[in-house]
Amino acid sequence: MNKRPNHPAYAAMLAASKATGLPRSFATDLTKHDRSALAQTPLTDSFAWALYDAGTHLVWSRKHDRSQRSQEHGQPNGFGAQGR
């Protein structure tokens, strides 16, 4: 898998963040964690992204991607200790 500095979707995500003023807290969800995860994601993998007042939520449609990225972020399953 090729690593690239920014996934093409990242610019759109930044634009949405700027337009809405979100997230108001936990901005590193977008600028660090989402950016890093996207940089390691093949362009053909589909994902969903949500922007909240307190951070973001990024999920992939393929189960093996979630487990691979969770190891990189030190979480057991990609969504914290509770497994959601």
pLDDT tens digits, one per residue of 6-56: 889 999 999 999 999 999 999 999 999 999 999 888 888 899 999 999 999
pLDDT at 67: 53
Residues 66 and 60 sit within 8 Å (Cβ to Cβ): yes
- How far apart CA 34 and CA 57 sit, in angstroms, is 8
Extract the runs of DSSP E, i.e. beta strands, from the chain.
47-52, 55-60
Length of the chain in residues, anyone? 84
Taking residue 34's Cβ as centre, other Cβ atoms within 10 Å add up to: 24
pLDDT (tens digit per residue) in 66-77: 555 555 454 444
If you ran DSSP here, which 8-state letter would residue 53 be given?
T
